[in-house]
Structure 1
Amino acid sequence: MGRFAGFLYQKRVDSTSPPPYLLKFRSSKTFIISTICIAVFTDIFIYGIIVPVIPFALSQRSGVAASDVQSWVSILLAVYGAALLALAPLIGWYADRSQSRRWPLLMGLVVLMGSTILLCLARSVALLILGRILQGLSAAVVWTVGQALLVDTVGSQEIGQTLGWVSLSMTIAYLLAPLLGGIVYDRAGYYAVFYMAFGVIFLDIVLRLFLIEKKIAAQWDDWFDGDVSTATSSQPERPSPSVAIEEEKTVLGGDITSERTKTPEEGSPEQPAPPPRFSKYPPIFTLLTSKRLVSALWCCVVQSTLMVAFDSVVPLFVQETFHWNSIGAGLVFLALLVPSFISPLIGAISDRYGPRWLVVGGFIFVVPFWVLLRLVTENTLKQKVLLCALLALIGVGLAFVMPPLMAEITYLVDAKEQANPGIFGANGAYAQAYSLFITAFAAGTLIGPIWAGYVRDKAGWGTMSWSLGLFSVAGMVPAFFYTGGLITERKGGRWSNSNGVVADQDLPAV
């Protein structure tokens, strides 16, 4: 009974209560990271699996006229982003006050299951829209709570590489789901697509039920002779930075605090640290005063806009230009999928050398290939190869952007916390910070389908492609100036991600 209570509630009843089965494994970094990656994969997979199916299902099941299919495809993709946009900050605020990350994750799974059942059975546009809104709610939970749990688990020293795995899971789901959705729909029909979705959800249910947070596992330390590392690896401590942290001034209620720490190596006398200043406002407002964070959020809007834009136009474009069916519409996404496998490597590079040049380089790299998409206009083998090659090169550029941007959120929260210890309270602000990140990502998922769909519909494929290429420049500019700290205040030195991981890189000038 004690073990059952430990499994269900993850709470130690008394000193004689045995630990849950497989405690070491279920609270290990590997299992927790794998569980969150599967949760992200599941959420995005369910989002994307109906991308190649929507054009056919709208006309055959919901009675939408052929001339209106493109508009409704864009709307159904955009309402998901709208739900994320509205709900993510609320979920983040709740998660940072919750004593458990696991229960919100389980509640999000219930919502995801309900939305999938609704989409499976819906025969009207209204029910399809409702299903997509519920998917957005589930995604808000997975992204805000899941990424906060990852920071709780690995700390910020390894967060770039860890979020690289999350980014890989997300990208694989984004691009594999349309592929499998198209093939299964063509071979087995509409319901078979959702049977596949329910199978993925079942795996997600099992993993989330078995997950044990490290702080929960610590209740049974005495069962392991007081050696915490045998039951759960302790959180990496956040040492005082051995190098300077970005100068970033936060203005709240007229008070100004500096987020720069000077070191003896710089030749200036050491100054006693000022007493901590605690904001009376919720952490989310403190975070939003940071130009560096706002820059990262805008870059995320641009990146997600570019990535999701393909979902609403590529299936219809290849159907009309190359006369491909739903299988071909799904297979073409493989060109975007393959480059995503470098995401963990990109995250590790970000941890060591900083995120700035990875993000800037990724945004610059994709511009010419977006513009060159306008050359794909005819049904020839050469044009088909050109389309796939351009999509693959765009995939490479976008793979350089997402992991460093995700890690930048953690780097910034740590910098603020170290400059003013306790400013975010006992539970920190990771969930709220990542709620802002996923809100920005949601804004991109809202903009991308509408931009690509309506510009292509009104002005053509060529105008759509070069306009999105120019939009990438809008992400590169703020990334150049603010990612990793204000570039005009940096000089030769070494990068620090606030956890003692340093490498040759520019530092904030003091």
Structure 2
Amino acid sequence: MNHDNFSRSSLVNLAIFTDIFFYGLIVPVLPFALSTQAGVPEDKVQYWVSILLAVYSAALFVGSPVAGIYADYTSSRRWPLLLGLVSLAGSTFLLAFGNSIGLFVLGRVLQGLSAAVVWSVGCALLVDTMGSSVGVAMGYVNISMSIGLLLAPVIGGVVYNKAGYLAVYYVAFGVVGLDILLRLVMIEKKVSKQWIKEPETESSQIDVEKTSPTNTPSDEPLGISTDITNTQTSTTAPAGEAGHRNDHSNDSKADQEKHKNRPVITLLKSPRLLAALYGILVESGILIGFDAVLALFARRLFGWNSTAVAVLFLAIFIPGLIAPLAGWLSDKYGAKWSSFAGFVATIPVLISLRFVTENTIQHKVLLASLLALGGFTLPFAITPLMAEISYVIQAKEAENPGIFGEKGVYGLAYGLFNMAFALGGIIGPIWAGYVVESAGWGTLTWNFGLWSASAAAVVFFWGVNKPRTPTTDDTPIEST
């Protein structure tokens, strides 16, 4: 990776880190803010915390495809990213100084819309930048997300206890401001190409024209020669063959135009893409579902405070630093087997959590160990699927060049990824909370184990062994 690509990749990961960092930063202080800032009665705090979580996910779900489509049709992906970060700054302001539940809801809506832009556009920009190393790039995205989720709640809780409510948001303003400044100086790969001369390409073209037997005199326009050559070819070719070629060309162009007008339908007709989106939904649902119940479970069973619970999240997120390896494997061998293995390996981990039932050292160690194993296996499940989205688009382009037009559909595709992730974030906590309250912790663990098994089955039957890239030969492309 050259220096420019590394810089752009780092800035995108910083944008994703900023979004996740702010999301996690306010988690430990939001219940207090509702009471002290918005005047919500104590018996209504849990209700409004749940509402605000749902509002965020709903805004993310609705805003993601819009942000993705806009990113594909705009001339630069830097500005949508900047707008997303400005929206995040507005959300920070509303949540810091808001004094009513309505302002808090608006702040969460802006935060969800910001996440929609940052994730949809950021992942699309990484695909533009990284080329064939998409899986590795998505591994670093997972690291950015893990670090943000790991550090933010701890920093938020400590700052709130030591310096007060507003100090938490001063930290957020500092991180967001730095990210906006760096985004302003970012130069995209396709923009920088416009400023870089390519003398080698020009000289090569001149050499070809000089050595070509059909080159024209210097005073004859090149277009005329081309037209004459094409005319001669068409007149010497058999009439049936020429007609067949023209019909095929017309059919291909008509097919391209038809698909350009409905890229969403084209993408959603791909079983391979739908399989990836389902796996992402399951992964998101499991992670966020456990976020909703794990702290309360540990507090009830072990009597732990918030600091001790933070250690559990360390056990989950630190092994996630292995994510770039999972991405490298998907780049080399394809998303199917690494993702399938990740989901299968997660099944016994989830089910074994049901054996944590007593307040003893052995059961505390067992819980931490199982969470660490889950933190190791889950990146192998989701990282390849994030890269698989770009592999699907490449395969469709190889089957039918130009099907998505000049600008492509990477923004839209990663908008669909965001929608799947958001939907999992809605289903997971609701499912987890309902099952734990009605049937207990043990029932939830095997429920989530079966959910992971369903994702493994979907990836196995509809995944693809190797990433597909555009080819110039007639080798069949695997089904998309």
Give the match for residue 287 of structure 1: 267
SS of equivalent residue, structure 1 residue 119: helix
Of 67-76 and 213-222, the range deviating more from structure 2: 67-76
- Residue 446 (structure 2) aligned to one of 439, 462, 466: 466
State the TM-score, normalizing by the size of structure 2: 0.82
Whether the aligned pair in 2 keeps the contact of 1:74 and 1:449 (CA below 8 Å) is no
Higher helix proportion: 2
Cα distance per residue 1:255-303 (max 9 Å; x no partner): xxxxxxxxxxxxxxxxx99835214332112111111111111111001
- CA change 1:440–1:496 in 2 (3 A) is closer
- Residue 23 (structure 2) aligned to one of 47, 56, 62: 47
**2 CA distance for matches of 1:332 and 1:192?**
26
- Alpha-carbon distance, 1:194 to partner: 2.0
- Alpha-carbon distance, 1:202 to partner: 2.2
Give the match for residue 380 of structure 1: 360
- CA change 1:410–1:456 in 2 (3 A) is same
Amino acid of the residue matched to residue 355 of structure 2?
A: L
Give the match for residue 191 of structure 2: 216
Of 441-450 and 174-183, the range deviating more from structure 2: 174-183
Give the match for residue 314 of structure 1: 294
Amino acid of the residue matched to residue 380 of structure 1?
A: T
Give the match for residue 247 of structure 1: none
- Alpha-carbon distance, 1:342 to partner: 0.7
- CA change 1:348–1:168 in 2 (3 A) is same
- Alpha-carbon distance, 1:37 to partner: 0.4
- CA change 1:57–1:332 in 2 (3 A) is farther
- Alpha-carbon distance, 1:461 to partner: 2.6
Give the match for residue 300 of structure 1: 280
Is 1:275 equivalent to 2:252 in the alignment?
Answer: yes
Amino acid of the residue matched to residue 185 of structure 2?
A: F
Amino acid of the residue matched to residue 383 of structure 1?
A: H
Whether the aligned pair in 2 keeps the contact of 1:115 and 1:135 (CA below 8 Å) is yes
- CA change 1:52–1:148 in 2 (3 A) is same
Q: How many residues of Structure 1 are paired with residues of Structure 2 in the alignment?
A: 424
Whether the aligned pair in 1 keeps the contact of 2:388 and 2:467 (CA below 8 Å) is no
Give the match for residue 172 of structure 2: 197
Whether the aligned pair in 2 keeps the contact of 1:179 and 1:334 (CA below 8 Å) is no
- Alpha-carbon distance, 1:353 to partner: 0.8
Whether the aligned pair in 1 keeps the contact of 2:330 and 2:467 (CA below 8 Å) is no
**2 CA distance for matches of 1:194 and 1:226?**
51
Q: How do 1:414-493 residues align onto structure 2 when only pairs under 5 Å count?
A: 414-484=394-464
SS of equivalent residue, structure 1 residue 158: helix
**1 CA distance for matches of 2:196 and 2:172?**
39
**1 CA distance for matches of 2:37 and 2:29?**
11
Is 1:30 equivalent to 2:6 in the alignment?
Answer: yes
**2 CA distance for matches of 1:66 and 1:110?**
33
**2 CA distance for matches of 1:135 and 1:298?**
24
**2 CA distance for matches of 1:168 and 1:428?**
27
Give the match for residue 67 of structure 2: 91
Amino acid of the residue matched to residue 64 of structure 2?
A: A
Q: How do 1:24-173 residues align onto structure 2 when only pairs under 5 Å count?
A: 28-59=4-35, 61-62=37-38, 64=40, 69-155=45-131, 157-173=132-148
**1 CA distance for matches of 2:35 and 2:55?**
19
**2 CA distance for matches of 1:371 and 1:161?**
30
- Alpha-carbon distance, 1:443 to partner: 0.7
State the TM-score, normalizing by the size of structure 1: 0.77
Give the match for residue 206 of structure 1: 181
Of 407-416 and 301-310, the range deviating more from structure 2: 301-310
**2 CA distance for matches of 1:315 and 1:368?**
21
Whether the aligned pair in 1 keeps the contact of 2:391 and 2:467 (CA below 8 Å) is no
- CA change 1:432–1:484 in 2 (3 A) is same
- Residue 177 (structure 1) aligned to one of 133, 152, 170: 152
- Alpha-carbon distance, 1:75 to partner: 3.0
Whether the aligned pair in 1 keeps the contact of 2:18 and 2:179 (CA below 8 Å) is yes
- CA change 1:209–1:47 in 2 (3 A) is same
- Alpha-carbon distance, 1:108 to partner: 0.7
> Percent identical across equivalent pairs?
51
- Alpha-carbon distance, 1:316 to partner: 2.7
Can you give the 5+ residue segments of structure 2 that lack an aligned partner in the other structure? 202-247, 472-476
**1 CA distance for matches of 2:420 and 2:467?**
26
Can you give the 5+ residue segments of structure 1 that lack an aligned partner in the other structure? 1-23, 229-271, 486-494, 501-506
Root-mean-square deviation (Å): 2.5
SS of equivalent residue, structure 1 residue 212: coil
SS of equivalent residue, structure 1 residue 130: helix
Whether the aligned pair in 1 keeps the contact of 2:395 and 2:470 (CA below 8 Å) is no
Q: How do 1:489-500 residues align onto structure 2 when only pairs under 5 Å count?
A: 495-498=466-469
